[in-house]
């Protein structure tokens, strides 16, 4: 691997990155960095997801606020500073809020008395709220770019294995699809127009009258707006590794399997030496294969599958199946985890420098909700996914689902892609397909896990939503006060309204609410998926011409 030779400055310190390296990778050579403080209680936070969806790696780059370190490829001479912490994320004076109010600040009913002080409170709260400071003029100008307008027969969102397979199958039929891919660098696809570093953020259903085309909004890093019109849309958005509720679940050092795998791509050395791996299935096996030498123990909420047992035994890694993960210790970084066997066993402490969550992968289904597709609850993994036929057809004419987002196994990706290409070729019917109503009523295996965990003393102080600092106790209080359903709980507590748009808190919140409300998770509902589904630079949205403008094919 090449030596780092791209100079940049991080909080006044001179550092160097390799060509094409992200800021997060450059900052994570030896260990995972502490990059910011949380919005309300100023808890230490670090990178969690590694794929541009959480709030853990936001920094200021060359005067531009809230840049995701895991999505920023370093340019020579970049100047990076941190946000939301004074004087620094390591020592932040406002961290005292969490110490002075260990049960949380009642932001709904607090700060109201005496009434004459309300304007003062409001000024104070406005000063403390939000993240980052406005960009400098120079920084705003630097990302300004004319918007892109594209028209295509078929647009494919996601250039991973499934998206590529569909693009190849379409190209073989003489259709040249437009493929939008989020990763910053990836190989083009023969026979397709390939646009990397591009995130789709809004997909409304096509208008019912007249024009059956979709209009999709996207942005290209760092801030170029893009509008695509297409007759057919294939969503191959895949899935992501979700979070888990325990004490300190947003402490620097707790990271998703997505992050662990992306930070160790290209044979890079992991930013941890003694990680506790959480999960006993295929994803845990993948992490073990990549960085098993730096794994200290494997802990699973349920059983551990034979493939993981075999790999762990080879590396002499101890296994802890059917364990409750109670919390992590360490003020500014993970130093150890505390476990307990399920069913009331003894508790154990394991020294570690990271916790990798690989226990549950949920679909990136936000755009299906926006497009008005019929969705169904899947007990495994405990999440909503689009109702889809084996040929990728969804309930919305012209909208298709490919790969794992549809819950379709990748065993025969080529055959699956052919089916979608055939369905698109025969598209033109405006009749939506009918689906048998299917609600998977098997209990999710994590439901039993959370039932036990919620009996643990002190769980109320755990963080239910890391983006906006909502505690588990606030959710419990809302339910005790008579609020029911995830949408109402969201409005009451703000859970799910932060930068990750609910991706990391909702999967667990649905299960916990199902227990607190004593009804199946799918009856708890889901929150409205408003645009944009990924925070988008205003410059990108503002640059888009009015929808009536002519589109260049
Ligand atoms: S680690 Fe960068 S957004 Fe989550």
> Is residue 200 situated within a structural domain?
yes
* Range with lowest mean pLDDT among 281-285, 405-409, 451-455: 405-409
Is residue 134 domain-resident? yes
CA 331 – ligand 1 centroid, Å: 21
- pLDDT of 431 strictly over 60: no
How far does the centroid of ligand 1 lie from the alpha carbon of residue 393, in Å?
Answer: 32
Say what the pLDDT of residue 409 is: 66
290 and 354 fall within a common domain: yes
Any atom of ligand 1 within 6 Å of the Cβ of 534: no
| Ligand 1 pocket residue status of 271, Cβ below 6 Å | no
Domain that includes residue 453, residue range: 442-519
Query: What is the DSSP code (8-state) at residue 192?
Result: S
Domain count of the fold of the chain: 4
In a domain, 543, yes or no: no
Residue 552 has pLDDT above 50, yes or no: no
Q: Is 202 in the pocket of ligand 1 (CB under 6 A)?
A: no
Of the candidates 33, 63, 60, 61, the one whose C-alpha atom is nearest the C-alpha of residue 48 is: 33
Give the atom of ligand 1 at the shortest distance from the alpha carbon of 54.
Answer: 4
Radius of gyration over every alpha carbon of the chain, rounded to an integer in angstroms: 23
Sequence-separated (6 or more) residues with CB below 8 Å from residue 196: 159, 181, 183, 184, 185, 186
Q: Of 321, 341, 359, which closes a domain?
A: 359
Is 33 touching ligand 1 by the criterion CB < 6 Å? no
Query: Is 523 or 412 the better-scoring residue by pLDDT?
Result: 523
How high is the pLDDT of residue 429?
46
The predicted model gives 343-361 an average pLDDT of: 94
Q: How far is residue 223's CA from residue 20's CA, in Å, rounded to a whole number?
A: 19
Average pLDDT of span 373-394:
91
- The enclosing domain of 312 has a CATH number of 3.50.50.60
Report d(CA 225, CA 221) in Å as an integer: 9
pLDDT band at 40 (very low <50, low <70, confident <90, very high): confident
Q: How far apart are CA 388 and CA 551, in angstroms?
A: 31
Task: Note whether residue 111 is domain-resident.
Answer: yes
With a 6 A CB cut-off, is 70 part of the ligand 1 pocket? Answer: yes
Report how far residue 227's alpha carbon sits from residue 184's, in angstroms, rounded to the nearest whole number. Answer: 19
Average pLDDT over residues 269-295: 97
- Mapped to the 3 state alphabet, what secondary structure does 433-450 carry? CCCCCCCCCCCCHHHHHH
**pLDDT digit string, tens, across residues 433-443:** 666 555 556 67
In the three-class reduction of DSSP (H, G, I as helix; E, B as strand; rest coil), residue 402 is classed as coil
Between the CA of 7 and the centroid of ligand 1 the distance, in Å, is 22
Same domain, 12 and 125: yes
> In this structure, what CATH number is given to the domain that contains residue 470?
1.10.10.1100
Q: Which residues contact 316 (CB under 8 A, 6 or more apart)?
A: none
Q: Residue 88's domain is classified under what CATH number?
A: 3.10.20.440
Across the range 406-424, mean pLDDT stands at 84
- What mean pLDDT is predicted for residues 33-52? 93
| Closest residue by Cα to residue 49 from 369, 357, 414 | 357
Task: Tell me: do 223 and 277 sit in the same domain.
Answer: no
- How many CB atoms neighbour CB 351 within 10 A? 13
pLDDT band for position 228 (cuts 50, 70, 90): very high
Contact 283, 358 (CB under 8 A): yes
- Reference 367, options 534, 248, 517; nearest CA is 534
Task: Give tens-digit pLDDT for 468-485.
Answer: 999 999 999 999 999 999
**Ligand 1 centre from 546 Cα, in Å?**
32
Residues 25 and 131 in one domain: yes
SS3 for 23? helix
> How distant, in Å, are the alpha carbons of 46, 51, 193, 326, 431 from that of 338?
20, 27, 50, 5, 54
Helix or strand holding residue 380 (H, E): none
Residues 154, 61, single domain; the answer is no
Q: Would you say residue 245 lies in a domain?
A: no
Q: What is the pLDDT of residue 121?
A: 82
Question: Band of the pLDDT at 428, cuts 50, 70, 90?
Answer: very low
Same domain, yes or no: 132 and 19: yes
Q: From atom 3 of ligand 1, which residue's Cα is the shortest distance away? A: 52
Same domain for 201 and 324, yes or no, is no
Model pLDDT for residues 181-204, shown as the tens digit of each residue: 999 988 999 999 999 999 999 999
For ligand 1, whether the C-beta of 68 sits within 6 Å is yes
The finding on whether 46 has its CB within 6 A of some atom of ligand 1 is: no
Q: Which of 127, 142, 157 is the last residue of a domain?
A: 142
Residue 308 lies in a domain: yes
Assess if residue 118 is contained within a domain: yes
3-state secondary structure 310-360: HHHHHCCCCEECCEEEEEEECCCCCCEEEEEECCCCCEEEEECCEEEECCC
């Amino acid at each position: 691997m090449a030596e780092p030779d791209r100079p940049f400055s991080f909080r006044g310190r001179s550092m160097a990155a390799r060509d094409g390296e992200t800021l997060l990778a450059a900052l994570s050579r030896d260990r995972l960095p502490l990059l910011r403080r949380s919005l309300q209680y100023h808890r230490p936070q670090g990178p969690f997801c590694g794929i541009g969806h959480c709030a853990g790696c936001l920094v200021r780059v060359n005067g531009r606020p809230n840049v995701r370190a895991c999505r920023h490829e370093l340019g020579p001479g970049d100047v990076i500073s941190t946000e939301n912490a004074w004087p620094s994320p390591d020592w932040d004076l406002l961290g005292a809020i969490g110490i002075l109010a260990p049960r949380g600040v009642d932001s709904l009913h607090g700060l109201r008395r005496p009434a004459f002080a309300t304007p003062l409170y409001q000024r104070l709260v406005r000063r403390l709220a939000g993240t980052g400071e406005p960009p400098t003029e120079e920084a705003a100008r630097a990302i300004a770019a004319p918007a892109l307008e594209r028209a295509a027969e078929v647009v494919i969102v996601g250039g991973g294995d499934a998206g590529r397979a569909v693009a190849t199958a379409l190209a073989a039929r003489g259709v040249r699809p437009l493929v939008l891919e989020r990763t910053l660098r990836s190989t083009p696809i023969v026979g397709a127009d390939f646009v990397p570093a591009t995130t789709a953020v809004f997909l409304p259903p096509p208008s019912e009258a007249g024009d059956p085309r979709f209009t999709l909004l996207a942005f290209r890093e760092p801030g170029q707006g893009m509008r695509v019109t297409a007759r057919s849309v294939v969503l191959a958005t895949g899935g992501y590794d979700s979070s888990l509720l325990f004490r300190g679940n947003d402490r620097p050092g707790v990271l998703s399997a997505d992050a662990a795998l992306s930070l160790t791509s290209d044979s890079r050395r992991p930013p941890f030496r003694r990680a506790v791996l959480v999960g006993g299935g295929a994803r845990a096996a993948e992490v073990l294969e990549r960085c098993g030498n730096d794994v200290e123990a494997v802990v699973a909420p349920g059983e551990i599958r034979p493939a993981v047992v075999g790999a762990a035994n080879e590396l002499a890694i101890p296994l802890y199946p059917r364990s409750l993960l109670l919390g992590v210790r360490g003020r500014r970084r993970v130093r150890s985890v505390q476990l307990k066997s399920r069913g009331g066993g003894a508790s154990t402490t394991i020294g570690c420098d990271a916790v990798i969550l690989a226990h549950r992968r949920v679909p990136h289904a936000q755009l299906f909700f926006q497009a008005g597709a019929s969705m169904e609850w899947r007990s495994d993994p405990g999440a909503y996914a689009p109702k889809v036929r084996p040929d990728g057809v969804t309930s919305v004419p012209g909208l298709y689902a490919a790969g794992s987002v549809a819950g379709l196994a990748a065993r025969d990706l080529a055959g699956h892609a052919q089916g979608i290409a055939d369905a698109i070729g025969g598209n033109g019917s405006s009749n939506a397909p009918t689906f048998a109503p299917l609600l998977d009523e098997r209990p999710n295996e994590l439901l039993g896990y959370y039932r036990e965990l919620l009996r643990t003393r002190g769980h109320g102080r755990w963080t239910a939503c890391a983006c906006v600092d909502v505690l588990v106790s606030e959710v419990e209080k809302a339910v005790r006060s008579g609020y029911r359903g995830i949408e109402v709980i969201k409005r009451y507590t703000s859970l799910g309204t932060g930068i990750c748009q609910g991706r990391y808190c909702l999967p667990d919140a649905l299960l916990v609410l199902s227990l607190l409300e004593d009804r199946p998770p799918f009856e708890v509902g889901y929150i409205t998926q408003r645009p944009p589904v990924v925070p988008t630079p205003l410059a990108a949205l503002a640059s888009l011409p009015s929808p009536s403008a002519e589109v260049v094919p």
